[in-house]
Chain A
Amino acid sequence: MSEPLDPQTGSEPEQDVATAPPATVAARLAFYQRAGGIATPIATALLAFMIGGLLVLATGHNPFQAYWDILNGAGLNWLAHPWNTDIANTAAYNFSQTLLQTTTLILTGLAVAFAFRCGLFNIGGNGQYLVGLFCANWVGVSFVNMARPAHIALGIVAAAAAGAIWAAIAGFLKATVGAHEVITTIMLNWIAYWLGNYIFQQGGPLQAAANKPLDVPISGDVADSARLPVFWGDSALQGLHIGFFIAIAALIVFWLILSRTTLGYEVRAVGFNPAAAGYGGIKVRTNYVRAMAISGAFAGLAGGLDMMGYLFHYGTIDVQATSIGFLGIAVALLGRNTALGTGLAALLFGGLVYGTTHGLQGGSIDPSLAGHLTEMIQGLVVLFVGADVLILYLWNARRKLRRRAEVEGAKAPA
């Protein structure tokens, strides 16, 4: 019942301000964030890990041993002797693989975070990731005679553009007919999913010619000229490619756009309060489309870097198993939609993803349990961080629907 003190001024909260819940989800999140600071996301993560540990305990294993194994699986023990970068060393190799996952997660996380700062919930990261990946595959397989820098640049641009267009469709529908972006991005995910199933399938346009007689629904390999240079490890063994630095640069770009450009100012104003933004002279609808496009570009870039960095080919089974775009939601929520937070959360989840799967060693837990542990922790994080935000979001949506119903109702008798 007690009203929170404003932590910034420490003064008595004004009655008409502090108790009125902020208008939009983004505003609410900002409010929340300020109230908890860095403590809330850390507590959220710890709580998720604790519950995960209880589950491990329930299956009769030692949770501390399990987490220790996952930690080593993620290669974090390499940090104890970082001078040994030889990937023949298991710890070094594992850590390079964690960073490879982190690269993708930074970008899919930013895809969610950027839209969120504009008050939009981009659930379509996975679809945007996929279309980026498809385009990169097509560019990488097709233009084999290009010079390497040009080929790589073309692939990256095509992937980002594909993701941007894919997400902008949802933004456009929101701006013009008011279709809710949660619904449209989910549908666009499915369209991307079936698109992938189609293009790589037997006789599909991107199925490799060599595979056709064998009935293998897999694409061709990206040409050497479109493969990203690897700076740690071996290209044949999923080495860490320069996409890692592109992802780091994307974090900086994200921060720069939001805090140092008029575009970012508009995005934040619309995210916090669309009515005030419109009053300020900002075109709210244009911002919805633009913010979605930028979001989609991040996710498409993730798909492109993965394709040209270490995957090189993709098949229908891979399409069906893709979920890294969804993990971006947890990354963004845990990272509180900030650049630094997203980077750190991506590292955490990158480590988890690799540490509970390929990197996992020792027999302390069942590998299949370990794999599910990542998903569980992801789910718990989204639940804890998102519960408040999601409830408010749905609540607002419902109120809007009801208001519309009232308007319709009022129109009829008049």
Chain B
Amino acid sequence: MRGITKRFPGVVADDRVDFDLRQGEVHALLGENGAGKSTLMNVLYGLYKADEGEIAVRGKTVTFGSAKDAIDSGIGMVHQHFMLIPVMTVAENIVLATEPTKAGVLLDYGEAVRRVTDISTRFGLAVAPDARVEGISVGRQQRVEILKALYRGAEILILDEPTAVLTPQEAKELFGIIKSLQAEGTSIIFISHKLNEVLEIADRITVLRRGKKIDTVPRAGATEEGLAKMMVGREVLLRVEKKPADPGDVVLEVRDLHVNDDRNLAAVRDVSFVVRAGEIVGIAGVEGNGQSELIEAITGLRRPEGGQVAVGGKVMEHVTARKMLDAGVGHIPEDRQRRGLVLEFSLAENIALHDYCYPPDSRWGWLFPRRLVQRARELIKEFDVRGGGPETRAAALSGGNQQKLVAAREVSRDPKVLVAAQPTRGLDVGAIEYLHRRLVEERDEGRAILLISLELDEVISLSDRLLVMYEGRIVGEHGSEASEEEIGLEMLGAGRKEPTAA
């Protein structure tokens, strides 16, 4: 690809980008959200037409009018969100649009299964051809997508942020698959914004920033710091810098809390802890050990079975989300798209999500849209939310900016306690750095911060005190100098102080 330029109204998504891929290599395309990685690959896959520049496959200049042309040239793409039909079987999905037929009209299902088995053994990607796609895990679905591309004869495979939807184990498996495909001679373009992945899997790395190619470097000699600097355009602190905490009064106190999950099974058992003004208390743990239920109980979204939560010394009873908000609990929820934002609402409406019912946003039930917009304009500026104004829909923002918007809303309400659940999940380095710095700043201003994260690095580097949660209990407490190994063991249940009755 030479000199590829793609413009959208108002933006240049890709600006004279050169990109080359060698036979049998894994070439990573690295960049922040919105850097133009996906657009570039959509041009290569024939989904967008480049405004300028040319594409050559094996020395031959080509023009792709559609994805079909690209597929015919041996290019396959696995999108981040799969394009599979859930009710159909694996084999049916793979042969879709090129299905073997009986008598010209009927699907020859036996033949389809046979072909799928062939191809899956050839590339060493085990799948069950008869399983329905809706019944298999996301990691398996991705495998089906890869097989679909290979079935159509792909020799160049584009993987668009393939690990974003995977668990760490599934990601490991995927890397294994990529290595074996590489051994078979397939060339792979790996789109990502995660530095460690790229360093693990890629042979060469091309960095894009704001639609421009910054450089292509071999893996040998590349470092996380160096790549991060290329991505963001300045030095990035991958480590958080902070002064020692100066804790004040107890602001949040949780005592003997019991909470059940959706299935009405005990999820939080007998949890007690305090968070003081001016400190960050982190909760580490493997996903599904009661962290979500704990947060929901503290923020009034789930009724506890027993125990109490006190905010600023006042015990909260018959809690509702509204009561907790009014008591001064701010909450950055773990899923910003499902809970943190109404994606169809404008930024201004989203900023007002808690306070729409109070002056100055409204009075006597009348809403004042202009005031919403005015407040949003101030916060968008203060929190450096990019990608839109007060009237833009939240869905149009990038993940990092959505999270900044949520943070802006929660922090601007001046909460006594800020509960931050996985505040940097799925964000790129620039946004992560910003949010980390912001959390430390809020701590220094005297807020009590409860941080829940699955990223061990993150909790360890940010927290002044750290609690480890396992099977709904707090199984360990550490100061800021905790060792990763020790906490890791506790997260897996090895550090249990008391054996559970079950």
Interface residues, chain A, with chain B CB atoms under 8 Å away? 1-3, 5-6, 8-12, 14-20, 22-23, 26-27, 30-31, 259-266, 268-269, 272-273, 275-281, 283, 407, 410-411, 414
Contacts and interface: CB of A to CB of B under 8 A. Distances in A.
26 contacts: A2-B48, A8-B392, A10-B10, A11-B8, A15-B38, A16-B164, A17-B402, A20-B81, A22-B343, A22-B344, A26-B344, A27-B344, A261-B367, A272-B342, A272-B343, A273-B338, A273-B343, A276-B342, A278-B321, A280-B353, A280-B356, A281-B321, A283-B322, A407-B262, A410-B263, A411-B263
Interface in B338-357: 338-345, 349, 352-354, 356-357
B489 interface: no
A17 B264 CA distance: 32
B301 A31 contact: no
B342 A16 contact: no
A280 B354 contact: yes
B390 to A, nearest CB: 13
Give the secondary structure class of B's interface.
loop
Contacts of B11: 10-12
B388 A9 contact: yes
A262 B342 contact: no
A12 B13 contact: yes
B39 interface: yes
A5 B47 CA distance: 12
A281 B369 CA distance: 19
A275 B387 contact: no
Contacts of A280: 321, 342, 353-354, 356
A115 B320 CA distance: 25
Contacts of B81: 15, 19-20
Interface stretch (B245-253, B308-316, B393-401, B437-445): B393-401
B33 interface: yes
Given A22-B343, A414-B265, A15 B161 contact: yes
Contacts of B42: 2-3
A14 B399 contact: yes
A144 to B, nearest CB: 38
Interface string B238-266: 00000000000000000000000011110
A319 B342 CA distance: 42
A14 B34 contact: yes
Given A12-B34, A17-B399, A27 B343 contact: yes
A408 to B, nearest CB: 9
A340 B340 CA distance: 31
Counting chain A CB atoms within 10 Å of each CB, the highest count among B8, B47, B354, B395 belongs to: B395
Contacts of B341: 273, 276
Given A16-B164, A272-B342, A280-B354, A265 B367 contact: yes
Given A9-B387, A11-B10, A265-B356, A259 B369 contact: yes
Contacts of A3: 42, 47
Interface in B392-418: 392-393, 395-399, 402
B365 interface: yes
Given A14-B396, A410-B263, 5 more contacts: A2-B67, A16-B164, A16-B399, A279-B339, A279-B340
A1 B47 contact: yes
Contacts of B216: none
Nearest to B325: A281
Contacts of B396: 6, 8-9, 11, 14, 17
B423 interface: no
Would you list the 5 A-B pairs with minimal beta carbon distance, nearest first?
A10-B9, A280-B353, A281-B322, A19-B81, A272-B344
Contacts of A266: 356
B117 to A, nearest CB: 26
B338 A262 contact: no
Nearest to A256: B366
B338 A23 contact: yes
A263 B365 CA distance: 7
B339 A276 contact: yes
B362 interface: yes
B331 A279 contact: yes
Given A19-B81, A276-B338, A281-B321, A260 B343 contact: no
Contacts of B392: 8-9
Nearest to B341: A276
A12 B38 contact: yes
Interface in B27-56: 33-34, 36, 38-39, 42, 47-48
A272 B338 CA distance: 10
Interface string B292-333: 000000010100000000000000000011100100000101
Nearest to A21: B81
Given A9-B396, A10-B9, A281-B322, A269 B367 contact: no
B340 A261 contact: no
Contacts of B39: 12
Contacts of A17: 337, 343, 395-399, 402
Contacts of B36: 12
A14 B342 contact: no
A18 B395 contact: yes
A281 B399 contact: no
Counting chain A CB atoms within 10 Å of each CB, the highest count among B11, B36, B344, B426 belongs to: B344
A3 B48 CA distance: 10
Contact of B80 (A16, A30, A261): A16
A197 to B, nearest CB: 41
A6 B299 CA distance: 34
A269 B345 contact: yes
A304 to B, nearest CB: 26
Contacts of B299: 279
Given A14-B398, A260-B367, A414-B265, A9 B10 contact: yes
A281 B322 CA distance: 4
Contacts of B15: none
B203 to A, nearest CB: 24
B375 interface: no
Contact of B340 (A276, A407, A414): A276
Contacts of B79: 19
Contacts of B399: 14, 16-17
Interface in B366-391: 366-367, 369, 387-388
Interface string B201-228: 0000000000000000000000000000
Contact of A5 (B8, B340, B367, B402): B8
Nearest to B39: A12
B49 to A, nearest CB: 11
A288 to B, nearest CB: 16
Contacts of B85: none
Contact of A10 (B8, B48, B83): B8
B344 A262 contact: no
Contacts of B352: 265
B147 to A, nearest CB: 17
A218 to B, nearest CB: 44
Contacts of B338: 23, 273, 275-276
Contact of A279 (B321, B356, B398, B426): B321
B464 interface: no
